[in-house]
Structure 1
Amino acid sequence: MRLAFVSFETVFHRDSETNHRFQTVLELLAAHGHDVHCYCAKFWADDASTLEREGITYHAVVTGLEASKSFLARLPFVLAASNSDIVHVNAHSPAVVLAASVGATLARVPMLTEWDGDGGIDDDRWTRLAAKRGARILTPSALVATWLRERGADGDRVETVPNPIDLERIQDVPPGEQVDVIYARRLDEGANLESLLLALAELRGRDWRTTVIGDGPERAMYERLASDLRIDDRVSFVGDCSLEERIAAYRGAHVFAQTAEHCVFPTEMLWALASGCVGIVEYHVDSSAHELVEGWDRGFRTTSEAELADAILSAGDLEHCTFDDRFADYDRSAVAEAYLEQYRTLEEAYGLL
């Protein structure tokens, strides 16, 4: 299958959550043997108009990010000549969605839009127009799907496809040091690590140890808070870690706590749950993390520091695990198949099979 992916900005321009998710889809489908092409602003140094990298062909529609208007003007004609079976668009920019829609129409092939929702989804005229485009509208979570329906998207066309993890990779990493509670996220203004620290302070009389993975502008503030709460001797701030180091830490930990206020898909929590952690989520209206633990006997949803402390105690009664095959549907192969099923369904609907 020849697939045309469209993203004005790529992960090679800026490593955002949105661009990373879109790049992951390209890599998944290229690894499954499909002919993957990405139409984007140029990010490589030489004069070539295309770049081959790890099974993906990148096409420079324009020479750089400063040429956004030219990208919109050229894109429909580039897609019309691409000889693709599917057009798949990163919806970070509504204007790009609208331009790609014209190109897919000229090419007479179906178009899918990929809405990550990182940073929220604007409620303006252009976003509402873009939300109505696409034979399929893909989101990482029910939270983002709801946002899009509120912007006018046809609910029958909205589908949820999660971010993938690699279960084989988890099983290949030996468990690390055993700790009671682990937290992992960039320590910025949305981390809300204070909720966990306050809950742990309520358990000051108990025997526990906690690891905090991640760095960021608020790290010093959180370290001071742990000291003020007189729990700093049992909370280890270890900074940024590689994926292998994080997996080892998750396999050694008993509980993963998710307290961030904003989260369109809790990828790091998913790695931890598949690594055997009990999941404790503090509910927030702009976070989808609770979706992973609803209806699961090793998951807790809380709404306050007191409930979070109680959940940590209750989690102690559950068996310590180092792997959970319940999350097989989130494995890279299963997520790739979910995308391919969307493509095949649309090709059949368009009479292209």
Structure 2
Amino acid sequence: MRIAFVSFETVHHRDGEANERLQTTAELLRDADHEVHVLCARWWDGEEPTFERDGITYHGLAPDLTSRRSFSLRLPITLRSLDPAVVHASAEPPTQVQWAGRGSALARAPLVVDWYDDGGSNDWHARRAASRPQRIVTPSQLVRTWVRELGADGDQVEVIPNPIDVDRIRSIDPGEPVDVVYARHLDDDANLESLLLGLAELRSREWSAVVLGDGPERGAYEALAEDLRIDDRVRFAGEVSLEERIATYRSAHVFAQTARRCVYPTELLWALACGCVGIVEYHADSSAHELVERLDRGFRVTSEQQLVDAISAAGGLERRDYDEQFERFDRDAVCDQYLESYREIRDGYELSF
């Protein structure tokens, strides 16, 4: 199957969760032996119109990120020439969905839009983008709700999670034992203070904690840990590789998720698959609670006292370094979800002609 991805900006231009999700999806399909093209702004050296890397062909429809109009105008005719089975476009920015829709119509291929965030947008372009495609895929029920509020037909919105790699988990040995781990970019939404205050309530007990990640609020959080007199038990490890994070998760007992905003809790998912007990503080703009609902080794809390109680209760659960129930989130399983979705909308699309 030939799939054409549409994303003016890619991970090769800028890191970002939406860009990373689209790149991961492209790689999943490539690894399943499908033909993958990415239509984007040029990010490689030279003026060649196409560039192949790691089995994916990139089409530079604009010389750089300042040439959005050039990209939009060239997109429909390029899609028609590629003759893809499916057009899979990023919803960021929403304006590119309109042009991707024109191209998919010319190519007589269904349009799938990957919607990772609402971006705080409720303008005409976002509402138009939500009503145009044959299928919208979101990473969580939270984003599905946001998209439906923009006017999308709920029957056309499908939740497909970010994947993990269970073989990679199995290949990495557990690290040094630790009781509680937290992992996130330490910004205004990290809400690490909630966990630190909860741990301080348990200072009379034996425990250790590690914080993975860096960011502008790290200094403030380190100062708070010192003020709470728990800095000797909370280690701030900074940015570490995925391999190091997996080793930590496999050796940890509890993963705490307290961030105020989280489109999809990828690190929580890795940790749960590594056997951690999951403790999630509920917030309206976070989907993290979706992973621990109806989970025997998961707690959802709404207050500091409930967080303290959950950490205490988690201590009574056995330590694990792998949980096979999360194999349904493995790369192959998630890839199959995309392929099943493509085939379903393609069959319906062909019947409409």
Tell me by how many angstroms 1:71 deviates.
1.2
Instruction: Give 2:259's aligned residue.
Output: 260
Query: CA separation in 2, counterparts of 1:70 and 1:64?
Result: 10
Query: CA separation in 1, counterparts of 2:262 and 2:172?
Result: 26
Query: CA separation in 2, counterparts of 1:49 and 1:79?
Result: 14
Q: Does 1:114 align with 2:111?
A: no
Gaps of 5+ in 1: none
Query: CA separation in 2, counterparts of 1:154 and 1:350?
Result: 16
Query: CA separation in 1, counterparts of 2:119 and 2:80?
Result: 31
Q: What do residues 294-325 of structure 1 show as CA deviations (whole Å, max 9, x unaligned)?
A: 00010000011111010000001101000001
8 Å CA contact retained: 1:113, 1:133: no
8 Å CA contact retained: 1:28, 1:336: yes
Query: CA separation in 1, counterparts of 2:258 and 2:191?
Result: 6
Query: CA separation in 1, counterparts of 2:295 and 2:29?
Result: 30
Query: CA separation in 1, counterparts of 2:119 and 2:51?
Result: 32
Query: CA separation in 1, counterparts of 2:350 and 2:75?
Result: 25
Q: Does 1:20 align with 2:20?
A: yes
Query: CA separation in 2, counterparts of 1:345 and 1:19?
Result: 25
Instruction: Give 1:126's aligned residue.
Output: 125
Query: CA separation in 1, counterparts of 2:287 and 2:119?
Result: 12
Instruction: Give 1:58's aligned residue.
Output: 58
Tell me by how many angstroms 1:72 deviates.
1.3
Query: CA separation in 1, counterparts of 2:38 and 2:186?
Result: 32
User: What SS does the aligned partner of 2:161 have?
Assistant: coil
Q: Does 1:250 align with 2:259?
A: no
Q: What do residues 122-169 of structure 1 show as CA deviations (whole Å, max 9, x unaligned)?
A: 111110010001111000000000000000000000000000000010
User: What SS does the aligned partner of 1:350 have?
Assistant: helix
Q: What do residues 27-54 of structure 1 show as CA deviations (whole Å, max 9, x unaligned)?
A: 1101110000000000001121100111
Query: CA separation in 2, counterparts of 1:10 and 1:254?
Result: 36
Tell me by how many angstroms 1:74 deviates.
1.6
Query: CA separation in 1, counterparts of 2:348 and 2:60?
Result: 31
Query: CA separation in 2, counterparts of 1:131 and 1:350?
Result: 18
Q: What do residues 157-203 of structure 1 show as CA deviations (whole Å, max 9, x unaligned)?
A: 00000000000100111111111100001111111000000000111
Instruction: Give 1:101's aligned residue.
Output: 101
Q: Does 1:337 align with 2:336?
A: yes
Letter in 1 for 2:69: K
Q: What do residues 68-109 of structure 1 show as CA deviations (whole Å, max 9, x unaligned)?
A: 011112211111221111100011111100110011111111
Q: Does 1:224 align with 2:223?
A: yes
Query: CA separation in 1, counterparts of 2:5 and 2:216?
Result: 34
The aligned length equals 351
Instruction: Give 1:213's aligned residue.
Output: 212
Calculate the aligned-residue CA RMSD, in Å: 0.9
Tell me by how many angstroms 1:120 deviates.
3.2
Instruction: Give 2:36's aligned residue.
Output: 36
Instruction: Give 1:88's aligned residue.
Output: 88
Instruction: Give 1:72's aligned residue.
Output: 72
Q: Does 1:46 align with 2:12?
A: no
Letter in 1 for 2:41: A
Q: Residues 102-251 of structure 1 correspond to what in structure 2 (within 5 A)?
A: 102-117=102-117, 120-251=119-250
Q: What do residues 270-308 of structure 1 show as CA deviations (whole Å, max 9, x unaligned)?
A: 000000000000000000000000000100000111110
Deviates most, 163-172 or 66-75: 66-75
| TM-score, normalisation: structure 1 | 0.98
8 Å CA contact retained: 1:121, 1:147: no
User: What SS does the aligned partner of 1:81 have?
Assistant: helix
User: Which stretches of structure 1, 4 residues or more, deviate above 6 A after TM superposition?
Assistant: none
Query: CA separation in 2, counterparts of 1:121 and 1:314?
Result: 37
User: What SS does the aligned partner of 1:84 have?
Assistant: coil
User: What SS does the aligned partner of 1:39 have?
Assistant: strand
> Identical aligned pairs, as a percentage?
59
